[in-house]
Amino acid sequence: MGRSWMYNIDRLIMGHIINPDFERPLLEFITFALSKPRFTDRGNIRCPCNRPKCRNKSFQDPETVKIHVITEGFVPHYYNWVHHGEPRFSLTRQSQYDYCNHMAGSSTAAPEYAYDPCGNHHEPPEINVSGPELNAHMTQDDQPPIASAQMLYDKLGASSETIWPGSNESKLSVVSELIHLKAQYKIPNACYDDLCRIMQKLMPEDNVMPKNTYETKKLVRDMGLPVQKIHCCRNGCMIYWGGDSELIECRFCGLPRYKDNASEGSSNRKAYKKMYYFPLTPRLQRLYASEVTAKHMRWHAEH
């Protein structure tokens, strides 16, 4: 059966009797979740039902989880139980095939020769920007993840949810495209805020579309890709970095670093010119941590 029972089996018989073919594997799922203590909270587990307030975000007691799932069903596409202790991308071939059959409306068993579970269709990329430290912990059942990795993992799980239930687009993918458009066409923040507001109105009410520029930037910032702001000389002579970070005027042309609208030593002083530095190391870590992009990063060494 794999995990097709999660979506392909009726939860209730005649509208009010719990289907034992659904209840049995559901109880096995709850037992599995309870066996992973680092993913529980005082005996409670994340509720994977499709209620807007749950969806693997809130912790509930096992009996409540059972009732919620039976009445509301599982959150869409939750074949890989990453919020309940299962390593990311560890689906068996049968479970992967169940996923593709569910999307195509089929329920046939997986053939033994099926190497690519989705056939020749486009295979969606595996979103994994958590870095190697998280993967290392996620594959060790007896070793809890470090706090920073767990925090990023939770953020990634939240941002990877669909923009609204039933949509094929994730919250992160929509935000990424909007940020790209904002940068490419130099869209002002006020215009971007209005665009987010209009998109929210056009989507179903239970969407998770960011409301404004602030929420968008916060989502991207929480993904763990740091950005550093560095002040520069107006003439491009130097940057105020390292040993020069405390200078208040250029060592070469003598022009002041700050505008004269704030007193010396004030944290509100504004530099005439600044640049943004995107540290390379964490970005390379994300590229190597994903199975999809890592093979491309190693191409020259392997060919």
The answer to whether 56 and 78 have CB atoms below 8 angstroms apart is: yes
Residue ranges of the chain with pLDDT lower than 70? 1, 88-160, 223-224, 261-267, 289-291
Phi, psi values for residue 252, rounded to 5°: -105, -50
Rg (C-alpha) for the chain, rounded Å, is 24
* C-alpha–C-alpha distance, residues 117 and 254, integer Å: 64
Q: What is the pLDDT of residue 71?
A: 94
According to the model, what pLDDT value does residue 264 have?
60
Q: Which residue has the tokens 């095939």?
A: 97
DSSP structure class, residue 183: H
What is residue 134's predicted lDDT score, i.e. its pLDDT? 41
What's this model's pTM, rounded to 2 decimal places?
0.39
Which residues fall within 8 angstroms of residue 34, CB to CB, at 6 or more apart?
Answer: 40, 43, 45, 62
pLDDT per residue over 162-175, tens digit each?
Answer: 898 878 888 888 98
Indicate the DSSP class of residue 106. Answer: -
Q: Per-residue pLDDT tens for 228-279?
A: 899 999 999 999 999 999 999 999 999 999 987 555 656 678 999 999 888 8
The kind and range of the H/E element at 285 are helix 280-289
- Give me the pLDDT at residue 286, please: 73
Q: Of 47, 123, 50, 43, nearest to 91 (Cα)?
A: 123
Largest CA distance in the chain: 83
From CA 214, how far away is CA 276, in angstroms rounded? Answer: 18
Strand-pair partners of 74: 49
Which residue type, as a one-letter code, is found at position 7? Y
